[in-house]
Structure 1
Amino acid sequence: MAEQGTRATGTDRVWCVVVPHHAEGARRARHRLEASLTALVPAVTLADAVTVTAELVSNSVRHAAPLPGGVIRVAWRMVGGGIEIRVTDGGAATPPTERQVGSESPDGRGLAIVSALAEGWGVDRDGLGQCVWARMAVPAAQPA
């Protein structure tokens, strides 16, 4: 069911997967991102990127409408010494915002987690819906 692709644009490497608009979609996106970046980034950075992807896709499933066909588009690219992750869905009535929640709250931490792990995040809207993106630094390789 998932459409997957990789392309190179100059020095950028770009991957895209289309996943179902339900919890299974988050799992598929995490596994695809991990498989594509394992040899390219340090393990700690990869773990953070997987977490950010999971939070963005989970938020899309929970709070936004799907794209036509009941799907979410997840794309990531290596560019400028970092990773950019983009999750595109059909949008929601209110824009995504980071919430302040108490320690006993069972949810509401997704964008706080993204904010803590990423250098920045934001929302782009167009005629199709909305794209929530996050940018993460990839540390330079350490000499052996």
Structure 2
Amino acid sequence: MSGVPETVVDDAVLVLSELLSNACRHGRPLRSAEDEGEDGDVRAAWRMDERGRLMVEVTDGGGPTRPLPATPSVTARGGRGLNIITALADDWGVRDTSGGEVTVWAVIGAGRPHDELSTRVGVPGIGFAAPFDGLR
């Protein structure tokens, strides 16, 4: 994307990857009347908002649970995706439609210092900032 800092694009790619993974793992595919008996799709989109921030979103056919950040154990193989999104995005949320579709969106803003990552990424109850303080 022209004019968007590379760090914002990098964060957006990771966030979009997490959103797509979650949609494929937990959501149902989108269906339309002509899809009868066929597999559906998951829809991804990105755009710049009115404040110059990059917005990414993924829409699927909904799932059995609402997307919420988890508190995985240290040895768990998954459950960190929405925590990663929370750390990298300025804001994120879930939008439902009356047809059962669910869109999870995230806004990644420009101008945020990228070297704050160690203080933003973490698992509840486990602090990562202290071990990295001496590396600055």
TM-score by length of 1: 0.68
Q: What residue in structure 2 maps to residue 139 of structure 1?
A: 111
Q: What residue in structure 1 maps to residue 44 of structure 2?
A: 74
Q: What residue in structure 2 maps to residue 109 of structure 1?
A: 80
**Residue of 90, 97, 116 corresponding to 1:126:** 97
- Matches of 1:110 and 1:118, distance apart in 2: 12
Give the SS at the match of 2:42.
Answer: strand
- Matches of 2:85 and 2:66, distance apart in 1: 15
RMSD of Structure 2 on Structure 1 (CA) = 1.4
Structure with the greater alpha carbon radius of gyration: 2
- Matches of 2:87 and 2:15, distance apart in 1: 10
Could you list the per-position Cα deviations for residues 30-77 of structure 1 after superposition, in whole angstroms to 9, with x for gaps in the alignment?
Answer: xxxxxxx2x331111111000000000100000000101410111111
Is 1:92 the counterpart of 2:55? The answer is no
Give the SS at the match of 1:71.
Answer: coil
Which residue identity does 1:77 align to in structure 2? R
Which residue identity does 1:44 align to in structure 2? T
For structure 1, list consecutive stretches of 5 or more residues without a partner in the other structure: 1-36
Is 1:56 the counterpart of 2:7? The answer is no
TM-score by length of 2: 0.71
Moved over 4 A (4+): none
- Matches of 2:6 and 2:106, distance apart in 1: 18
Q: Which structure: greater strand fraction? A: 1
Could you list the per-position Cα deviations for residues 9-49 of structure 1 after superposition, in whole angstroms to 9, with x for gaps in the alignment?
Answer: xxxxxxxxxxxxxxxxxxxxxxxxxxxx2x33111111100
- Matches of 2:98 and 2:3, distance apart in 1: 34
- Matches of 1:60 and 1:48, distance apart in 2: 18
Q: How many corresponding residue pairs?
A: 103
For structure 2, list consecutive stretches of 5 or more residues without a partner in the other structure: 113-136
Task: Name the % identity.
Answer: 41
